[in-house]
């Protein structure tokens, strides 16, 4: 296999790892998960998610809850680290570092150092890129960040969404259906 093909394959694997990881987020994992030295966020990952959070959810002037007032980053960390298979976790880590270096050529800064306007432009450029791994990385990290935000029930109030209803509506349990008579 040529070096270019090897790099492409590795790149695809990293992007896939992000995409696969995205759906694993949930509050339950935060409750159940254990963050260890091997799987906790490193400084770059923390900085990338923090930057992605402010880039994705600029709530000033809107009724939405400011993300800085919510435990979004711990939710991402707990969800990612608690439920992710080691090979996906490793790929995710590499993918985040790659993404962080993405703007260097054009903007002269890593993603976590970009001003908000440029960070927004960079994410939009990659989500519409002709390169599938760029699309997957940008979309995956953005999706992961906003999912963590919306998974926190406090964020639903400004939308008028009330969440679970069975207890609020005092619904009765039907229980097991009787076995059919022969």
Q: Which residues bind another protein (CB under 8 A)?
A: 15-29, 32, 55-59, 62-64, 83, 85, 87, 116, 120, 123-124, 127-128, 132-133, 135-136, 138-140, 142-143, 146-147, 149-151, 153, 155-156, 158-166, 169, 171-180
CB atoms within 10 A of CB 30: 23
Residue 65 burial by Cβ neighbours in a 10 Å radius (0-12, 13-18, 19+): middle
| Maximum CA extent, the chain | 76
Q: How far is the CB of 94 from another protein (least distance, A)?
A: 15
Question: Which residue, 41 or 138, has its beta carbon nearer to another protein?
Answer: 138
Question: Which residue, 48 or 123, has its beta carbon nearer to another protein?
Answer: 123
Distance CA 117, CA 166 (A): 43
Question: Which residue, 75 or 110, has its beta carbon nearer to another protein?
Answer: 75
Question: Which residue, 96 or 138, has its beta carbon nearer to another protein?
Answer: 138
CB atoms within 10 A of CB 181: 4
Question: Which residue, 49 or 142, has its beta carbon nearer to another protein?
Answer: 142
Backbone angles phi, psi at 140, to 5 degrees: -60, -45
> If you compute the radius of gyration of the chain from its CA atoms, what whole number of angstroms results?
20
């Amino acid at each position: 296999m040529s070096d270019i093909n090897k790099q492409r394959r590795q790149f695809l694997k990293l992007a896939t790892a992000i995409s696969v990881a995205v759906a694993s987020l949930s509050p339950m994992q935060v409750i159940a998960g254990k963050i260890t030295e091997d799987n906790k966020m490193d400084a770059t990952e923390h900085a990338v998610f923090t930057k992605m959070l402010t880039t994705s959810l600029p709530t000033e002037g809107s009724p939405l809850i400011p993300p800085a007032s919510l435990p979004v980053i711990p939710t991402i960390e707990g969800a990612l680290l608690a439920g992710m298979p080691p090979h996906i976790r490793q790929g995710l880590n590499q993918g985040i570092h790659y993404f962080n270096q993405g703007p260097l050529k054009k903007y002269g800064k890593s993603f976590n150092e970009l001003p908000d306007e440029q960070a927004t432009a960079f994410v939009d450029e990659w989500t519409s890129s002709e390169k599938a791994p760029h699309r997957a990385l940008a979309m995956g990290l953005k999706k992961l960040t906003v999912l963590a935000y919306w998974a926190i029930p406090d964020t639903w109030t400004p939308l008028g969404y009330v969440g679970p209803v069975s207890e609020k509506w005092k619904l009765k349990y039907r229980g097991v259906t009787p076995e059919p008579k022969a």
